[in-house]
Amino acid sequence: MYSIGDLSRRTGVKIPTIRYYEQMGLIEAPERSEGNQRRYEKRELERLAFIRHARDLGLSIEAIRDLLALSEHPERPCGEADRIATEHLAAVREKIARLRKLEVELERIVACHGDHTIGDCYVIRALADHSMCESEH
């Protein structure tokens, strides 16, 4: 039997976040002590660790909810789980691509260094005028 604090310490998930996950339906409402405090079993510790890891990998709450539901049925085919992970990977790649474009533009923009005034500042001028950029973003 773990208290919410035990769970928090063991998984690194903050206490309000655990309660939030309960509200969001990722964790079932656990049993309560006589004084109405949450008491967890090992199952829920593992479930929370799963959630934590999936969040660290950037999966959305919704995706995690689906994955948890799938994991309750070990005999079913896993196409759906693979699809969720594959789609997430694609989303991560898109984000990287977008950020790389920003990186390129920002590098050009901050390349102006030295002693000068706001009036001459390339940063300010570049922000005022997208046509100075080399790509869309």
Tokens matching residue 96: 């990287």
Judged by CB, which is closer to DNA: 9, or 100? 9
**CB distance 45 to 11 below 8 Å:** yes
Question: Residue 31's beta-bridge partner residues?
Answer: 39
**CB distance 41 to 8 below 8 Å:** no
Rule CB under 7 A: is residue 38 a binding residue for DNA?
A: yes
Region from 16-24, 72-80, 81-89, 116-124 binding DNA, contact rule CB under 7 A:
16-24
Binders of Zn ion among residues 41 to 60 (CB under 5 A) are none
Angstrom distance (rounded) from CA 17 to CA 45: 14
Region from 11-19, 35-43, 86-94, 126-134 binding Zn ion, contact rule CB under 5 A:
126-134
Residue 107 interface partner, choices Zn ion, its own copies, DNA, none, CB cut-off 5-8 Å depending on type: its own copies
Rule CB under 5 A: is residue 96 a binding residue for Zn ion?
A: no
Handedness of CA 16, 20, 22, 26 (dihedral sign): negative
With tokens 């901050």, the residue in question is 110
Q: Which residues here bind DNA, judged by CB under 7 A?
A: 3-6, 8, 14-17, 19-20, 32-38, 55, 60-62
